[in-house]
Structure 1
Amino acid sequence: MKKFFTILCLTFIATAAFYSSSNAQNYKNAIGGRFGAANGVTFKTSVGADKMLDIIANFRSTHDYNYFRLTGLYEIYNPIADAPGLGWYYGFGGSLGSVKYKPTSSSDLYLSVDGVLGLDYKFKDAPINLSLDWKPALELAPDTGFDASGLGLSIRFTF
């Protein structure tokens, strides 16, 4: 199952990068790590003057379960006046993944509808981007619920 999601993620990233254009954040693409409640890899690409697509492949391991998920977010960017390189963004998307329960070795499909609200900073003289955001999720499977623990810091290389 992990191989399927990895191939899907790489295919989606390559397609998004091919169709990308410039954006208001002074970078076209960015790739790096996301650290927080779940750690993983993040790739952003421009899809318009002030819009970006953020693809996140992450994992979480606890005492009770492991999960892997792929998240796609459509984000709208707004500059902050008198703060060059700094902007705020909001958006929506969804996650698809798998959950494996440790005590029983059983697994389930993970599915959610996600939102995002954050700050984004691009260093002027370096190819580095930082984002701090909150990504709440309405979980649809394997159980329904609201996950508000999606605070994360992303550090990316821009190109």
Structure 2
Amino acid sequence: MKKLLLLCLTAGLFLIGGSNANAQSYENAIGVRIGPYNGVNFKTFLNTNKALDLNLSVRSNDNFKRFLLTGLYEVHNPIGGAPGLLWYYGGGGSIGSYKVKNFEGDLFLSADGVLGLDYKFDGVPLNLAVDWRPRLELTPDTNFGTGDVGLAIRLTF
């Protein structure tokens, strides 16, 4: 029963995402994404509801450092009755370097997903987005991470 419900929800998302509604209210945005990974964020729409979201980010503490370039393909959909608010989903990948204290560095590769909300303020060149990004790490070790939640603050143009 759970598998059937999951299948129906997934099919519904693809059908909704396949609509070519006039979703976005800006073409490009640049700013920062704050969360477990902090860095520079750039989003550009390819058409009315499809976008590329690029991040150059870093995460470090006393034990490790990680530097990542992440690229995501996103499908945006409006939320009825909420002008300027979109929900989105998508996927992509990350490549970067990973260094653990007292060990050699290594290449980092992952397959990433994304699910989030995007809000463009009316009359102001400001965009906010909050999203969840689960990650399947492929190297240096295979590991599924439940992902991180981050906030993007961007200027639109």
> Above 0.5 in TM-score?
yes
| Structure 2 unaligned regions, length at least 5 | 1-21
Deviation readout 1:96-152 (Å, 9 max, x if unpaired):
000122223x10000000000000000001000000000010000001101113110
Please report the TM-score for the alignment, with normalisation by the length of structure 1: 0.83
Partner SS, residue 72 of structure 1: strand
Counterpart for residue 29 of structure 2: 30
Residue 113, structure 1, aligned to residue 117, structure 2: no
1:148 & 1:48 partners in 2: Cα distance?
A: 30
- Match runs of 1:32-47 below 5 Å: 32-47=31-46
**Residue among 120, 123, 128 paired with 2:121:** 123
Counterpart for residue 66 of structure 2: 67
Instruction: State the shift of 1:24 in Å.
Output: 2.3
1:142 & 1:152 partners in 2: Cα distance?
A: 24
1:148 & 1:62 partners in 2: Cα distance?
A: 19
Deviation readout 1:33-74 (Å, 9 max, x if unpaired):
000111011000011110000001100002211010000000
2:47 & 2:83 partners in 1: Cα distance?
A: 20
* Identical residues among aligned pairs (%): 58
Cα RMSD, aligned residues only: 0.9
**Which aligned runs of 4 or more in structure 1 are off by greater than 3 angstroms?**
none
Partner amino acid for 1:128? L
Partner SS, residue 86 of structure 2: strand
1:37 & 1:101 partners in 2: Cα distance?
A: 17
1:47 & 1:146 partners in 2: Cα distance?
A: 29
Deviation readout 1:8-53 (Å, 9 max, x if unpaired):
xxxxxxxxxxxxxxx7221000000000111011000011110000
1:158 & 1:24 partners in 2: Cα distance?
A: 15
Counterpart for residue 11 of structure 1: none
Residue 98, structure 1, aligned to residue 97, structure 2: yes
Counterpart for residue 150 of structure 1: 148
| Structure 1 unaligned regions, length at least 5 | 1-22
Counterpart for residue 13 of structure 1: none
Aligned residues: 136
1:46 & 1:133 partners in 2: Cα distance?
A: 17
Counterpart for residue 83 of structure 2: 84
Partner SS, residue 81 of structure 1: coil
Find the structure with the greater CA-based Rg: 2
